[in-house]
Amino acid sequence: MSLDEHTVTPETAGGITGALHAAKAGDTVIVAEGVYGRIWYDRDPPEGKPITLRAAKKKKWKAVIYGNGAPCIYGKGVSNLIIDGFQLVGGTEGVRLRDANNVTIRNCWIHHATRWGGIAGSGNSNVTIEDNLLGYNGSNPQFHHGIYIVGRDLTARRNIVRHSSGRGLNIQPTGGMNVIEQNVAFGHEVHRGLFVLASGDAVVLVRNNTVQRNAQAPMIDAKDQSVALVANNLLRTDWENRTGPEARIIQLAEDVITTSGFRNGARGNFLIREDTPARREGPPGPLQAARDFWQRPMATNDAGAFGYDPALPETLGYYQYPYPYSPGSGDPLHDQPDFWELLKAES
């Protein structure tokens, strides 16, 4: 083992929190399979390369952080941190950030948080939230959401957010350049799947999101001198937007509004069929992301989070989209191969 890697097991003295506080810039804290208590991380930020906190390879989601009435991971005033590959369950939030800078949360499965959100926080900058599955988070339909993040220079991409008590994605940029792309939000029975509140001098790019089967239409509320740039989203209903006198919402490329053309939308499978209205001729346009949902080079010009791909299985249902909740249950539906695991490289 190299000097900049530290392995934590459930028996390690000081646990994950102790290892994080002892780590140097550029170090990696590897967490073995097991169940761990909540993490409180509030050290002075290290200079230079970020510290990486990740589940052991091939053990994604098997390192479980149980919040037990507090955030599973709480980062206060932290900088230069990557959180990668955990299952976060039973906290008030899965991850709560306060005044954090240069933090990435990726490849996590976050569920059954009881309060503000699966991922929540304010006063943050340069926060990236990518490739996570969030479901069944929150207990208040007004204040608790799947992702509830406030700050500047925010990125939320390739997340699947479903069945939150309030909104799916509640992203509130206050400045800088912000990107909300290739997310899937569905199954929110009270509120919107996607809500963007832009203020200050924020610029927000909102593109290639799939927003379906939510109680209310998606919304962008642009205030102050903020600008929202919108392109290629796949929506069930059109936007319900609000714009302040000095703010702008600019439609750079048409969204597609449809409830049809999915492999099995009733069971939460929003992969698109060949006959979908979301399909578009030609190579990827200049407003498409450079890479697709599985981080392969973008090959289509289609709307929504998923480009059409005939190689993807036709039979995937709710529990395989994208991770099975109960593998090994004996139910054939649960035990089928998971297309996310087949097509997306391990982190």
Q: Is 70 a member of any domain?
A: yes
pLDDT on residue 330 = 44
Q: Number of folded domains in the chain?
A: 1
Rounded to whole angstroms, the Cα distance separating 179 from 197 reads 13
pLDDT on residue 336 = 36
**∠ CA 4-17-43, rounded to 5°:** 85
Domain limits for position 77? 49-343
Q: Is 280 a member of any domain?
A: yes
pLDDT on residue 291 = 85
pTM of the model: 0.90
Q: Which ranges of the chain have pLDDT less than 70?
A: 1-3, 45-46, 312-347
Contact 164, 144 (CB under 8 A): yes
Residue 44 per-residue DSSP state: P
**Dihedral of alpha carbons 307, 304, 101, 43, sign:** negative
Q: Is 22 a member of any domain?
A: no
Q: CA nearest 53: which of 83, 17, 15, 23? A: 83
pLDDT on residue 315 = 52
| Count of residues making up the chain | 347
Q: Is 25 a member of any domain?
A: no
Q: Report the DSSP pairing between strands 248-253 and 79-84.
A: unpaired
Q: CA nearest 170: which of 213, 132, 221? A: 221
Rounded to whole angstroms, the Cα distance separating 214 from 71 reads 27
Q: Is 81 a member of any domain?
A: yes
Contact 72, 66 (CB under 8 A): yes
Containing 270, the helix (H) or strand (E) segment is: strand 269-272
Q: Is 170 a member of any domain?
A: yes
Rounded to whole angstroms, the Cα distance separating 192 from 166 reads 8
Q: Is 188 a member of any domain?
A: yes
pLDDT on residue 191 = 94
| Residues 239-270 pLDDT 10s | 999 999 999 999 999 999 999 998 878 777 88
Q: Is 182 a member of any domain?
A: yes
